[in-house]
Structure 1
């Protein structure tokens, strides 16, 4: 006789539960017990799919890193259209959704998680480093099109934009900034790179 009900996709159910916790209470509230309780499953379910909680968290972050591919593709397609500041503003608003902002805090706070992500190939602050590469690729495309200065150092400009934007989005209590605030920040950071 079967006991209980089958889970739809246990791994995805656990990831969705973790994201809800991050949205509601932030990275400090994320524990294996909190995730399994939020998902409505026994604690052993998480350990059936992941050797430990940091392995689970590493896969959660890697999922966010993989999602950057779609953002990068869309941003690169926008090269040569609209305005550079407008394209970057839109990308940063998407990039720093509330879950991603909390994930960055989680990565910064957990040494073992960072170590696992670095062992898998990430460098610097995982997720932020990959996001900087996405921005640098777009800025390089715009430089090639002549929309930013030919001597603009996109490998410095991209993490500068990312850091400035992260400061805007990181305050959980105040909530995300309005788009105009992000646009003004982008315009200020990129002003020196504007094509003459």
Structure 2
């Protein structure tokens, strides 16, 4: 079992689903959490987190935190010496995700209300890792700018999952398959 599998096992999906969806937690597909948003397919979450290569002690930004599940998994991966900030635009989902995350017992992670017109959480930058769980039309430079000098970001852009790696002043991108995500608003 790799680190991502262990982290996902330590953070059961059912604790991050509406009561009406909890019986379907083992389903390997997206499940609705309200407001047109979904709790992502477990296989997709595992794929993105493996590509992100989160390590203990790192600082992680989770854009589109939704129910808080990926925020909690990232918190499990970084451990108490790291930190995770999830950001979500929909106020009801912010409250839902915050409650779910609090119940998971990982105080080094939090979810913040995204600010209109601001992508990510620049106040806490730079981040070692950025996970974007919503699709964009183009690579968001605003998020690239929030990466540390050796940071990695996983972001779905126009259906393609991109890994963005920053090394000093250079940015490299590579494609890692086709995925469907809700749009980033």
TM-score (norm 2): 0.27
More helix by share: 1
The structure that is strand-richer by fraction is 2
TM-score (norm 1): 0.26
